[in-house]
Structure 1
Amino acid sequence: MPVSASYRPDPLFSKLGPEFADPVAPARFPQHILRRRNQDWATRVGLGELTEAEWEAQFARFEPLPGNMREPLAMRYHGHQFRNYNPEIGDGRGFLFAQVRDDGGRLLDLATKGSGQTPYSRFGDGRLTLKGGVREVLAAEMLEALGVYTSKAFSLFETGEQLTRGDEPSPTRSSVLVRLSHSHIRFGTFQRLAFFERPDLMHQLIEHAVAAYYPHHLNLNAEARAAALFGEVVEANARLAASWMAAGFVHGVLNTDNLNITGESFDYGPWRFVPTSQPGFTAAYFDERGLYAFGRQPEAVSWALAQLGGAMLLACSQNALETELARFGPAYQRGLRQSMFERLNVVPGDLAADLEFLQALLDWMTESQIGWDQFFHDWHGGEASAARAAESPEAVRYNEAGFAPIRAGLESRGASHASEALSRPYFQRPLPVSLVIDEVEAIWAPIAEADDWSLFDAKLRHIHELQEAVA
């Protein structure tokens, strides 16, 4: 198989042994119709030279990659689901298939969604609807463009089966997704070991996680290493929560099995982007209490981190873990300033003053109900975009008295390079690229009705234009 010279297999997770995962066989599908090949990321992990037939063999039939895992592994974990502990979960419709190094040396997983039943499928069929696969691709692409640290939708095949689902018209088409992610080790992976009271395995997992993802802590003793790992996870997930808020993104299901140790966003089920600033906006129809609403996401991540810390008491003192958990608030504040200011392309200054400005901005956006994406589009570069904002569909709001202090804050934080960014064609358009639910449904409708992928392809092109413009 002609992998490139940059292909670097490194199947570290399989070395943890049988206590952490179960070998499984991939499902056999009647069809393999390629719907998405992420060539950019394939190149970055040394798989860009695969032929169409080889891509199908690797990512639809799941033949082993050279020098990589000999068989797929369904990972074992538990988790709090809407704050109810569930010891009956694990990889129920996916598996870890391979691990590789990218061109920056990071360890990345190739893992699946919709690849068939596993010991943790319970009553599920282990499959993924095609609509679910399309939504995963769109979410990952949009989040990457908006600067969120996200998994990548690496491959999507339509598989030719008819699936029955209770929350969408059935029968519906099926797919199998391959996701490229910086670790699938979840908070719930640690929780499972605490549940079974296995300090030996907890220490083994911590050693593995530090060596694979935070090797600069390897010189510490066992307890200090555990505390340091937890602190890294706290900081990484605080930054993640902040980046979701700047993106206007609602993950929808922030269970402890959907958060990982590298602070990378992944597993896109009932996600949404907010049309306007609505703290109570929910993505999942089954989130009846609004537990994972837009404005509650930082709280949800902090709570989940506390559960991870509770599990790690098997390997570390409570005082040390509480000290590390206390880093969440400051890390979130710094992350929110960074993410919001990067999206606005303005320059930070004094942290306290910047946070006061951001609170005023968010309050104004909630009160005015201005379009979330439209505002960031109109004021990219701060005051340098004043003329553009005056031509915006939302221009009348910028003349209201309530906006005056926001404009003053933007003026005082202008970026010297803003004019260069604004010269790009993307910023000549009056409307931003967005991905609210109505747009997602409009993309799916012609696929479902006529196998017409033109809107899907066009949206991906537009998202890439956004990414290039704000890079």
Structure 2
Amino acid sequence: MLPPLSHRYADLPEHMRAEVYPTPVPKPRLVALNRPLAEDLGMELACFDEARAAELFSGNALPEELKPTAAAYAGHQFGNFVPQLGDGRALLLGEARNRAGQLRDIQLKGSGRTPFSRGGDGRAPLGPVLREYLVSEAMHALGVPTTRALAATTTGERVYRRMPEPGAVLTRVASSHLRVGTFQYFAVRGDEAALRVLVDEAIVRHYPELAELAADAQPMALLEAVIERQAKLIAKWMSVGFIHGVMNTDNCAIGGETIDYGPCAFMDRYDPMTVFSSIDGRGRYAYANQPSMAQWNLARFAEAILPLMGHDSKQAIAEATEVLETFNERYQRHWLSAMRHKLGLSTAQDADAVLAADLLEVMHQGSADFTLTFHYLAGAVTPEGAEQLVAVFDQPKDIEAWLVRWRQRLGDEQASAKEVFERMCAVNPAVIPRNHRVEQVIEAASERDDFAPFNALLAAVTHPFDASNECVDFRQPPLDGEQVLRTFCGT
């Protein structure tokens, strides 16, 4: 069933990874398969066998030619450096080429202990697997760079975290699993040869245009390229109200994808200091802090590859610092571009940033739902269509005053109300995987073995711009008794 796989990472020097096979599970059952993604990866589904697929995606029955590999990496976790983390419950099966000819990692997550498990069981509870499946596929549908979910299986055993939960394995697809923490692992060990291998691999996998540069110029150019992608990625997160929850350096992907959906969530009411993660007591990774935390992570990346930037360390530090200081300008540029689109603006004016920031402040003061505000804003192009939007706010006078300014700005667009409405509906989602809905799905699956709610929510969030009546329940924010204010990591 799997397509032909290469083993680029498994063929790297042995000290960069460990070859280890999944721990068998007693009773695997396939509960989700992403058929469009499977077909894009060249998987043959004409003679699909669900039982065989469960054995494959649980790790019970892998083809003999595979080299399942756990990667070594380190990381700053909530600001504290841990010199050895690594894939403690994940195995890279290999790399497949999609229809566009791009290499894509295929990885099992929750497949058992590895040399990097640090005493853990290497397993994943069903809840976090379903959360990652739903949210990563929703992010893809929203146009946010992300890892993807290929399959999910239950294992027929219990995993013990806060309480006993059904076990599961997620099959994840990524452009690669290279992280800032991957480079940190070898930097702290003074292994410049391994760092050079990683730079070369990052260029091959993500930045082939840098291959034309001289070898000594590539590390600095790679730093700048990674900064640009991270700035664009975080701006995307902010534009849809997404909160990652654990922006540690081992969760910062070199390729610019969202990776590791642990205690992540989308905001309901807009508050820039919103935190969902149960382990983020000080709000380090609050919504508003995500851009600065991304820049902090990138500084750690610069430190890791600094030994490759030349013999004059002072000059290298100065040049790297100068590049790092461009992050905020890059982020602001991408954020403003995203906000212009959300506001229906196709032209640029100097006052647009203030207009967007003022809307967010009005939303904050009015306790307005983030997603519904932008979704209903499209209808408020004319005063007659503003009723739904105004109803979202506790203080309607402020949003009504802002709408006057916004409509005046739209007057410079030379576009009809219909045109503005249509382009806003194309970028402002009606449906996101709201936290209370995700928790309802997890409860139904974990406690009643009922996956119908999961399938219904998955169908809705993978069509986020569908405002049909069929999706109306999924569009609504939680009632007071439905709010879920804390999410938990599955490790």
Instruction: Normalising by structure 1, report the TM-score.
Output: 0.89
Equivalent residue for 1:32, pick from 15, 28, 33 = 28
Q: Secondary structure of 1:19's partner?
A: helix
Confirm whether residue 152 of structure 1 aligns to residue 145 of structure 2.
no
Percent sequence identity over aligned pairs = 32
Amino acid at match of 1:196: R
Partner of 1:400: 397
Q: Is this contact kept in 2: 1:383–1:407, CA < 8 A?
A: no
Q: Secondary structure of 1:262's partner?
A: coil
Which whole-Å CA distance do the structure 1 matches of 2:269 and 2:153 have between them? Answer: 34
| Aligned ranges 1:148-227 → 2 under 5 Å | 148-166=144-162, 170-227=163-220
Partner of 2:477: none
Partner of 1:453: 451
Q: Secondary structure of 1:99's partner?
A: strand
Change (3 A) 1:342 1:331: same
Change (3 A) 1:24 1:389: farther
Q: Is this contact kept in 1: 2:431–2:466, CA < 8 A?
A: no
Partner of 1:279: 272
Instruction: Normalising by structure 2, report the TM-score.
Output: 0.86
Partner of 2:330: 331
Equivalent residue for 1:88, pick from 84, 88, 94 = 84
Q: Secondary structure of 1:25's partner?
A: coil
Q: Is this contact kept in 2: 1:346–1:382, CA < 8 A?
A: no
Confirm whether residue 128 of structure 1 aligns to residue 128 of structure 2.
no
Q: Give 4+ residue runs of structure 1 displaced > 4 Å after superposition.
A: 62-66, 395-399, 413-418, 420-424, 467-470
Per-residue deviation, 1:368: 1.5
Moved more, 57-66 or 283-292: 57-66
Which whole-Å CA distance do the structure 2 matches of 1:321 and 1:143 have between them? Answer: 31
Amino acid at match of 1:22: A
Q: Is this contact kept in 1: 2:241–2:267, CA < 8 A?
A: yes
Confirm whether residue 107 of structure 1 aligns to residue 103 of structure 2.
yes
Amino acid at match of 1:116: G
Unpaired runs of 5+ residues, structure 2, are 310-315, 469-491
Which whole-Å CA distance do the structure 2 matches of 1:260 and 1:125 have between them? Answer: 25
Partner of 2:228: 235
**How much is the aligned-residue C-alpha RMSD, in angstroms?**
2.7
CA offsets, 1:413-469, max 9 Å, x none? 469587479679x97xxx932333222222222223322222211111211332567
Change (3 A) 1:173 1:348: farther
Partner of 2:481: none
Q: Is this contact kept in 2: 1:32–1:159, CA < 8 A?
A: yes
Which whole-Å CA distance do the structure 2 matches of 1:415 and 1:35 have between them? Answer: 50
Q: Is this contact kept in 1: 2:88–2:113, CA < 8 A?
A: yes
Confirm whether residue 444 of structure 1 aligns to residue 428 of structure 2.
no
Confirm whether residue 142 of structure 1 aligns to residue 141 of structure 2.
no
Moved more, 410-419 or 232-241: 410-419
Q: Is this contact kept in 1: 2:72–2:84, CA < 8 A?
A: no
| Aligned ranges 1:275-424 → 2 under 5 Å | 275-316=268-309, 317-350=316-349, 352-380=350-378, 383=381, 387-392=384-389, 394=391, 400-409=397-406, 412-413=409-410, 416=415, 419=418
Which whole-Å CA distance do the structure 2 matches of 1:17 and 1:469 have between them? Answer: 51
Which whole-Å CA distance do the structure 2 matches of 1:406 and 1:258 have between them? Answer: 39
Which whole-Å CA distance do the structure 2 matches of 1:322 and 1:423 have between them? Answer: 43
Unpaired runs of 5+ residues, structure 1, are none
Which whole-Å CA distance do the structure 2 matches of 1:411 and 1:451 have between them? Answer: 53
Which whole-Å CA distance do the structure 2 matches of 1:388 and 1:143 have between them? Answer: 29
Per-residue deviation, 1:63: 4.7
Which whole-Å CA distance do the structure 1 matches of 2:195 and 2:54 have between them? Answer: 37
Q: Secondary structure of 2:255's partner?
A: coil
Per-residue deviation, 1:320: 2.9
CA offsets, 1:16-58, max 9 Å, x none? 2212111011010111111110111111111152622453343
Partner of 1:70: 66
Which whole-Å CA distance do the structure 2 matches of 1:98 and 1:418 have between them? Answer: 50
Per-residue deviation, 1:172: 1.1
Which whole-Å CA distance do the structure 2 matches of 1:48 and 1:412 have between them? Answer: 52
Change (3 A) 1:391 1:195: closer
Per-residue deviation, 1:401: 4.1
Equivalent residue for 1:268, pick from 256, 261, 264 = 261
Change (3 A) 1:223 1:404: farther
Amino acid at match of 2:368: I
Which whole-Å CA distance do the structure 2 matches of 1:141 and 1:344 have between them? Answer: 25
Moved more, 332-341 or 171-180: 332-341
Which whole-Å CA distance do the structure 2 matches of 1:54 and 1:418 have between them? Answer: 53
Point out which structure has higher relative CO (alpha carbons under 8 A, 6+ apart): 2
Amino acid at match of 1:257: D
Which whole-Å CA distance do the structure 1 matches of 2:79 and 2:358 have between them? Answer: 32
Partner of 2:243: 250
Moved more, 140-149 or 122-131: 140-149
Q: Is this contact kept in 2: 1:252–1:270, CA < 8 A?
A: yes
Which whole-Å CA distance do the structure 2 matches of 1:190 and 1:121 have between them? Answer: 19
